[in-house]
Each structure stands twice: as structure tokens, then as C-alpha cells.
Amino acid sequence: MKKFICIAFFSLFLFNCENEPKTSYVIDGKAEGVYNGIRVYLNKVNERGAPIPKDTAIVMNETFSFEGSVEYPQLYYISINGTPGRFPIILENGKSSINIDSKVLDNTIYVGSDSHDVLKAYQDKMDAFDAEYMKAKDNYKEAEFLNDTASIKRDRQVLVDLTDKINNFQYEYVEENNSSYGMMPILNTLINSRDVDFNRVVKIYEATSDNIKSSEEGVRMKNTLDKMRLVFEAEKATAIGEIAPGFSAPNPNGEVISLKDVVSKGKVTIIDFWAAWCGPCRRENPNIVKVYNKYHEKGLEIIGVGLDGRRGQQNPKEAWEKAIETDNLTWHQVSNLRYFDEIARTYSVNSIPRMFILDSDGKIIAKNLRGQALENKISELLD
């Protein structure tokens, strides 16, 4: 009986030890064919992709090791002197091993991290997709070269379908692994992609654990999503067919002018975002002057929103007023002199020149017309 109790106690002790939180990591490394003294680096990267050193190891007898601790699993990179590139790993506390291929770093094998396994499985699948896509692209190019109309149509559709398949896989994979830190680099890639499904990535992020949300990457991701939400909401609010958001700001004399006041005076109103420092804006101003002079008596109003006040600009108010005078801008001009200020953000303006054309009710009916296209549109509305 005592023997049974001892065995049971020992088993329970082992179970508890195995399930105790790991507070440090040890990476045992092999680097076959690498000379003694060669350095191996363990780095993070900042938001711009520049390395942030974590640790350095020296190869001795084709082996090396890293020891330390991380607060939570994080994306790190292994690199080695004399070998181009870097190998991504999800570093977490516990014991792991890495076998570096010094000739082709991508062939490196890292074992011992469940979070890394999630990332590695994704990378393997994406590598297979890349090979499939390149083959399909080669087929399409060959069809174009042969001017084979039927094959061009077929192969183009293959590329479209494959692109959709890859895109769906990426989102579904992150959704299925939303409790793993290993999906964080993947989700970050999706968030920063040009064709991001914003609502979907928000749902994925919100479904992650509190530990992931409170991590450094999780907090950074939340900040990015919050900024993106403002942009998406602004784009939605300033879409064609929507009533233009109201705003007010001081003119050169300090008098506060509102968009509502300007719209009430005309049949058509242009909101023109520009700045004294903006070359393309200044080059377009003569065309806007011509259109204004031709159609003002027929009901055209313009309110220019100056985005002067950028960092390093000398005397922004003086520069703004001088540009107004030099370019003969005789319509309403307002500016907070705070660069891309809250008015610009409300209209999702992140580059200039930008233009919005409103009807007499303040509804947006056109955007970003320049040159002859602008005159044609105003003529259509007022002639």
C-alpha cells in the first residue's frame, strides 16, 4: 500500500512539474560545416524591419546555444555570419533545438515550440501555393505568347481562382489558430495587405485570448486596427452619395467659416484640399481658377482647405497667405495650420491635392477631378 502511494505521489509530482509554467528558454543549436568563432544572432525586428539584437552565440565544434526568457511567445529571427537571409522562429520559454543549414537558411529546422509549429505549417502551405501559382502564371504567359485565346481565358481564370483560394486559406488558417501566438505574424500580414478584409481581421483579433491582446504585438495590432477603423469610417462617410461631413476653420483674417455656410450660397460646391508646399496642388491651381471664374456666377462655390503647418515649414500662415495671393485664389480659404489635421482625417485625406464636389444639398457627387475632367463635370452640372 505504501509502495502504491509513493508511486502515485511521484507520478503526480512529475505531472505537476511538466505543467508548471516555463520561465526561461534554452535553444540547443547545430551548425554543421560552420567554423569555430562564427557568430549566430537572435534578433527581433522593429516596425520598419530593422534588427533589434536579443542575443549572440559563438559556434564551437559546430554547436551553439541561446538561453534567456521571454514574457510570451514572440517572432524572432536567426541569422549567421556569412549566410544571407534570416530564419523566422516563434521563440517561447522551454527547451528547443535548431539545426542551421548554413548554405540555404530556409532549410533550417527548428523543433520544440508549439507556436512555431503553427507558423511553420502555414509557411509550408504557402510555399506549395507559390509553386502552384508560378506554374499557372507560366502557363498563362505561354498562352499569351502563342496568342491562344481559349487558353488565355482559361489560364487567367485559373490564376483568379487560385488567388481567391490562397486568400481564403490565409484567413481560415488564422481563424482556426486564433489561440496561438504563431498566427500573429500571419494576422499582421493580412492587416497590412492592400486588399485587407477589415471586418474579418477585426473579428479574428477580437476572438484571440486576453494574453495575446495584452502582448506587445497584440497592443500594437490593436492600435493599427483602431487607426484603420478611423480611415475606413472616413472613407465610408465621404463616399459618393453621402452628405459631406461638416467642418469649420478660420480664414486668413481669423474669421471662422463653415462648410454649411459655403454650401448654402451655391448650387455646386468644391472642397479643395491643398497646401502652399504642395507642388501638384500649385500646378493645378490655375485650372481651378479658370473653372471658378467661368462658373462662379452660375452657382459654383469653392472652399479651399489649406494643410500647411507641416514639420519644418517656416511661417506656415505667411506661406499659406502668400500662396493664396500668388495663385489668385479668390474663393473661401480656411486652415487650422496643423498639416493633415482633423478635417483631413475626417475626409480620409492622406495626400494632396484632393477634391470633393457637392450638390446644393451638400451631397458628394464626384471626387478628385483635375484638368479638363473638372471643367467637364462642372459644365455638366451648371451649363
pLDDT tens per residue across span 300-310 = 999 999 999 99
pLDDT in tens, 231-258: 889 999 999 999 999 999 999 999 999 9
276, pLDDT greater than 60: yes
Asked if residue 265 and residue 219 are part of one domain, the reply reads no
Q: How crowded is residue 88: how many other Cβ atoms within 10 Å of its Cβ?
A: 18
One domain for residues 145 and 42 = no
Report the CATH number at residue 42. Answer: 2.60.40.1110
Q: Which of 80, 112, 144 is the last residue of a domain?
A: 112
* Res 290 pLDDT > 60: yes
Q: What sign results for the dihedral spanned by CA atoms 17, 19, 23, 25? A: positive
CB atoms closer than 10 angstroms to residue 3: 7
Assess whether 252 and 376 both reside in one domain: yes
CA separation (Å) from 168 to 7, 135, 161, 192, 208? 51, 20, 11, 16, 19
Q: How high is the pLDDT of residue 49?
A: 78
Residue 55 phi, psi dihedral angles, 5° rounding: -165, 160
Residue-wise pLDDT tens digits, 7-43: 444 444 444 444 566 899 999 999 999 999 999 999 9
207 and 97 in a common domain: no
Strand 94-99 relative to strand 25-30, pairing: parallel
Confidence at 51, pLDDT banded by 50, 70, 90: confident
**Structural domain contains residue 1:** no
Looking at the chain, the whole-number percentage of residues with pLDDT higher than 70 is 95
Please indicate, yes or no, if residue 3 is contained in any of the structural domains: no
The reply to whether 89 falls in a domain is: yes
Which residue's entry shows cell 539584437? 53
At 319-330, the pLDDT tens digits run 999 999 999 999
Which helix (H) or strand (E) segment holds residue 83: the answer is strand 83-91
198 occurs within a structural domain = yes
- Provide the β-strand partners of residue 90: 75
Residue 225: domain span = 116-237
- For residue 37, give the H/E element and its range: none
Q: Coil, helix or strand for 57? A: strand
**Mean pLDDT calculated for residue range 201-214:** 94
pLDDT tens profile 319-378? 999 999 999 999 999 999 999 999 999 999 999 999 999 999 999 999 999 999 999 999
Segment 165-186, tens digit of pLDDT = 999 999 999 999 999 999 999 9
Whether residues 377 and 254 share a domain: the answer is: yes
230/252 Cα distance (integer angstroms) = 29
**Where does a domain end: 66, 84, 112?**
112
β partners of residue 89: 76
Q: Are 223 and 149 in a shared domain? A: yes
Instruction: Looking at the structure, tell me whether residues 136 and 46 fall in a common domain.
Output: no
Residue 357's SS3 state is strand
pLDDT over threshold 50, residue 226: yes
In this prediction, residue 20 carries a pLDDT of 60
The domain total for the chain is: 3
Output the CA–CA distances (angstroms, integers) from residue 371 to 268, 284, 351, in the order listed: 18, 7, 18
| Inside any domain, residue 8 | no
Number of continuous H segments (helices) and E segments (strands) in the chain: 12, 15
- Confidence at residue 145, expressed as pLDDT on a 0 to 100 scale: 93
